[in-house]
């Protein structure tokens, strides 16, 4: 049965939000002369969170970003520039801004699945806060031969609530009570020093509350802790999981009376399961056409929700990167979804799209004259049949003819122009047959 997507370009629904933000920036030039800088910059990615950057040599390797990697000797004088190793993070940050992408800075440590070193609670919370203060001054105020980047977002820690199947925590070796105290000291100190930056966190593994997460959020309320943004993660096998996570986060901040912090989902990807064959399958799909289709559906769900920013994990060339090949840095299928969504961001204003139909996800944008619709066919059942889709279009703000151009991402096409029509009616219907995991951008340009 044909499915219909109604798009009304005359209805302005606010901005197309940064649903195309990511974790991590472009690579620097390697000793072999390779880099993905130009391809990365072409995507016009708005923000890059720098979590787990220390795992990748192309960003500077083990000396990069993490607080304990920049300030290596906790007994050193935090007021002395000589106590800090900024150079690798300077190069990585400079490269990210040069690509036109703003840095979202995660203060804390990269995940530690094996030996634990940087994920222990700091011996002195106040000193740790002062170390973070100097890192901020280096990148925003020029301290220690630094910069004036004006980095807005400073996130305290990552996944203090994480739990492996054996009960261990790869991200925080203390209790939740200890983490709450660290956040209390650090957030208050940094907000006092820098009232105009955004302080938040704590990058929970999930917004669905358990005892630990509830304790943190209640402490934010009762201790009046700074929380300019509430960050959380969601790995799921259906785009609807993104929308569910946002609803849970919004319900929590409303129920506890936490005001209106930005809601930032800053780690997400396709995951069918975390163990054994499900995990292997998930990694294969993340880098495939199926993973690309999931990315598109998740972006559309985020745009339609109360989410403020969505940050894909991970643009770092790694096992969970659907944008770039880990060896050659060649574009993968997921790259072209980001390239298509860039067109919606350029148009600027979200247009009304009918309620998402099962398995067909869509998003539309307009600049008042031109428009675009992006749609994808995603189903976690890998043998699902093709779908016939009717795009019912109205409201393009022009009295002249309109050129409709179809750019297809599928197994054989990398967002290539495959069809073009001239439309003269103010309202029209266009028909598209979408194979499973196809993603299509339809651009409407006034002639």
Cβ atoms within 10 A of the Cβ of 299, count?
28
Alpha helices in 124-205 (DSSP H): 125-140, 176-193
For residue 32, the number of C-alpha atoms closer than 13 Å in the C-beta half-sphere is: 9
The domains of the chain are located at 17-347, 349-446
Edge-first strand order for the sheet with 371-377 is 414-423, 402-409, 439-446, 371-377, 360-366, 349-353, 3-15, 387-394, 427-434
Beta strands in 69-216 (DSSP E): 102-107, 153-156, 198-204
CB 247 within 8 A of CB 238: no
CA 165/CA 185 separation, integer angstroms: 31
Report how far apart, in Å, the C-alpha atoms of 131 and of each of 103, 117, 139, 148, 249 are.
19, 17, 13, 18, 30
Contact criterion met (CB below 8 Å) for 246 and 253: no
| Residue 349 contacts residue 366 (beta carbons within 8 Å) | yes
Rounded Cα distance between 52 and 65, Å, is 8
Task: Report the candidate in 117, 61, 47 with the shortest Cα–Cα distance to residue 89.
Answer: 61
Residues 266 and 23 sit within 8 Å (Cβ to Cβ): yes
- Are 91 and 37 a contacting pair, CB within 8 Å? no
The CATH fold of domain 349-446: Immunoglobulin-like (2.60.40)
Indicate the DSSP class of residue 397. S
d(CA 311, CA 127) in angstroms, rounded, equals: 30
Our separate counts of H helices and E strands in the chain read: 10, 17
Cα–Cα distances in Å, from 198 out to 48, 275, 363?
15, 36, 29
Other Cβ atoms less than 10 A from the Cβ of 45: the count is 28
442 neighbors 372 (Cβ within 8 angstroms): yes
The pLDDT of residue 1 is 72
Nearest partner of 132 among 63, 226, 68, judged by Cα: 68
- Alpha helix (H) ranges present in 145-175? none
The CATH architecture one would assign to domain 17-347 is Alpha-Beta Barrel (3.20)
Say if residues 232 and 244 touch (Cβ distance below 8 Å): no
| H/E run at residue 380 | none
Of 414, 248, 231, 411, nearest in space to 313 by CA: 231
Decide: helix, strand or coil at residue 348. Answer: coil
pLDDT in tens, the chain (447 residues): 788 999 999 988 999 999 999 999 999 866 566 899 999 999 999 999 999 999 999 999 999 999 999 999 999 999 999 999 999 999 999 999 999 999 999 999 999 999 999 999 999 999 999 999 999 999 999 999 999 999 999 999 999 999 998 999 999 999 999 999 999 999 999 999 999 999 999 999 999 999 999 999 999 999 999 999 999 999 999 999 999 999 999 999 999 999 999 999 999 999 999 999 999 999 999 999 999 999 999 999 999 999 999 999 999 999 999 999 999 999 999 999 999 999 999 999 999 998 556 899 999 999 999 999 999 999 999 999 999 999 999 998 666 789 999 999 999 999 999 999 998 888 889 999 999 999 999 999 988
CA angle, residues 312, 316, 321, in degrees to nearest 5:
60
């Amino acid at each position: 049965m044909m499915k219909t997507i109604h798009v009304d370009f005359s209805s302005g629904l606010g901005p197309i939000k940064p649903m195309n933000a990511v974790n991590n920036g472009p690579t620097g030039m390697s000793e072999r002369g390779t880099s993905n800088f130009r391809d990365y910059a072409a995507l016009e990615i708005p923000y890059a969170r720098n979590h787990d950057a220390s795992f990748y040599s192309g960003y500077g390797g083990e000396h990069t970003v993490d607080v304990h990697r920049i300030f290596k000797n906790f007994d050193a004088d935090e007021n002395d520039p000589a106590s800090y190793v900024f150079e690798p993070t300077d190069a990585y940050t400079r490269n990210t801004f040069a690509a036109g992408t703003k840095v979202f800075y995660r203060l804390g440590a990269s995940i530690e699945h094996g030996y634990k070193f940087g994920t222990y609670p700091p011996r002195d919370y106040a000193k740790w806060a002062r170390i973070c203060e100097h890192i901020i001054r280096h990148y925003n105020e020029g301290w220690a031969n630094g910069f004036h980047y004006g980095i807005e977002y400073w996130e305290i820690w990552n996944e203090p609530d994480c739990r492996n199947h054996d009960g261990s925590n790869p991200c925080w070796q203390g209790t939740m009570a200890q983490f709450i105290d660290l956040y209390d000291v650090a957030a208050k100190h940094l907000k006092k020093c820098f009232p105009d930056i955004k302080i938040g966190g704590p990058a929970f593994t999930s917004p669905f509350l358990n005892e630990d997460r509830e304790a943190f959020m209640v402490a934010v309320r009762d201790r009046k802790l700074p929380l300019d943004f509430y960050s959380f993660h969601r790995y799921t096998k259906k785009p609807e999981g993104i929308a569910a996570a946002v609803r849970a986060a919004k319900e929590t901040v409303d129920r506890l009376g936490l005001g209106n912090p930005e809601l930032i989902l800053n780690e997400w990807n396709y995951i069918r399961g975390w163990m054994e064959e499900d995990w292997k399958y998930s990694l294969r799909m993340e880098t495939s056409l199926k993973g690309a289709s999931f990315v598109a559906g998740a972006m559309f769900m985020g745009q339609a929700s109360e989410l403020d920013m969505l940050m894909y994990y991970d643009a770092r060339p790694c096992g969970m990167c659907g944008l770039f090949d880990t060896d050659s840095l060649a574009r993968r299928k997921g790259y072209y979804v980001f390239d298509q969504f860039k067109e919606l961001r350029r148009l600027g204003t979200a247009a009304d799209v009918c309620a998402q139909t099962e398995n067909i996800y869509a998003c539309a944008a307009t600049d008042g004259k031109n428009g675009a619709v992006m749609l994808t066919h995603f189903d976690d059942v890998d043998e699902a049949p093709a779908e016939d889709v009717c795009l019912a279009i109205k409201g393009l703000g022009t009295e002249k003819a309109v050129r409709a151009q179809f750019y297809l991402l599928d197994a054989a096409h990398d967002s290539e122009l495959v069809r073009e029509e001239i439309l003269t009616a103010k309202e029209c219907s266009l028909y598209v047959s979408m194979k499973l995991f196809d993603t299509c951008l339809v651009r409407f340009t006034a002639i």
